[in-house]
Chain A
Amino acid sequence: MLYADVNNIFNPGSGGGNVPYPGQLNPAYYPGEPFSWMLGDYNAIISGTDAKLFWNGASGPVGGVGAEPANNDSWGWTFTKSFFSGFSLFGPKNDPRPSCFGNFVKNSVANFVGIPGIDTVGGGAAAYYGVSLSQAQAIPNTRVARGGISPSQWLEADEAARLANAGKFSLALNAVVAEGQALASEVPSALSGECK
């Protein structure tokens, strides 16, 4: 696309810029660099940090320069690049609001282990250790408590394996409940803009 910023057109005598000869497209335009170019009829100079069009203040565009480089990237690649270049898991650093995702993670852990601020790895390890302990205790130590069977029969009956599965299932379910609880508290604050 060709365009020009007409606000940056001024007469050669009023500002800087190389004034070579009519029609010369110098200095070369480097994207993002300041530039000033003389128009072909010496009536004006375009100045600024970006422009693609020579503009004659009186008679309109007189020529193009610095046309945008051909964009051969696919839409998908362009989208991916722009997404990841601007993507931040915890929100922009210059935004003073607390991070919604950070709060979600913190609240999930706090809901699960009940201690605000405890780290996720520690919480997970504690829960897993708890499951291991309960599995170790899953074989009752008296015959009566085992329903009249020996420990080996108890194991044979697959009770320990079943209890281990139940423990793992409980761990997964309660982790999901903790996340659901955190999500329920984060969604309203995210919608109201209290977090980023």
Chain B
Amino acid sequence: MLEILIGVVLVTAFVAYLLSLPKGTTLNWQRIALVLNTFVVFGFLISWFRDGWKRLDFWATMTALLLIHTAVYLFVLSRTEGWPLAYYVMVNPAELALFAPVLRKVVSRDGGSR
């Protein structure tokens, strides 16, 4: 019931926002999808590696991965007409499977800079 209520509130707020936009304004959905999916990938990584939150090298690695992720996506998105959202569904777990071992190595390293 709470979930339905939250959903109704979110959709209502979204429609109200759409109505408040000046006529002819279109949202950049490609960027919105990229930002949301970036949050998903890095949100999961951050939540999985709680052990590394106090380590500087963990955050440095995360920043590097975020830059690589963003650069690759911006490069690809600028060269494709349409990027179906289903691609994110497939690429996100692949990215996580790629980044997680890297971060695990960093976190499991002894004497990492803290």
Residues of chain A at the chain B interface (Cβ within 8 Å): 111-115, 123, 126-127, 130-131, 133-135, 137-140, 145-148, 159, 162-164, 166-167, 169-171, 173-175, 177-178, 180-181, 183-184, 187-188, 191
Q: Which of B13-41 contact A (CB under 8 A)?
A: 14-15, 18-19, 23, 26-27, 29, 32-33, 36-37, 40-41
- CB pair B97–A177 under 8 Å, yes or no, is no
Question: Can you show 20 pairs from A to B with CB atoms below 8 A apart?
Answer: A111-B84, A113-B86, A114-B83, A115-B84, A130-B86, A137-B94, A137-B97, A138-B96, A147-B100, A147-B105, A159-B100, A163-B96, A166-B40, A167-B92, A171-B89, A173-B40, A174-B85, A180-B14, A183-B18, A184-B26
Q: Give the docked Cα–Cα distance between A140 and B96 (Å).
A: 11
Most B Cβ at <10 Å: residue of A115, A148, A164, A170: A170
- Known contacts: A112-B84, A114-B83, A147-B104. The answer to whether A131 contacts B33 by CB under 8 A is no
* Neighbouring B residues of A131 by C-beta, 8 Å: 89-90, 93
Interface size of B in residues (CB-CB distance below 8 Å): 37
Query: Secondary structure of the B side of the interface?
Result: helix
Q: Which residue of B lies closest to A130 (CB)?
A: B90
Residues of chain B at the chain A interface (Cβ within 8 Å): 11, 14-15, 18-19, 23, 26-27, 29, 32-33, 36-37, 40-41, 44, 48, 82-90, 92-94, 96-97, 100-102, 104-105, 108
Within the complex, which residue of B15, B93, B101, B108 is in contact with A146, where a contact is CB–CB below 8 Å?
A: B101
* Neighbouring A residues of B100 by C-beta, 8 Å: 147, 159, 163
* Neighbouring A residues of B105 by C-beta, 8 Å: 147-148
Shortest beta-carbon distance from A99 to chain B in Å: 18
Q: Which residue of A lies closest to B39 (CB)?
A: A173
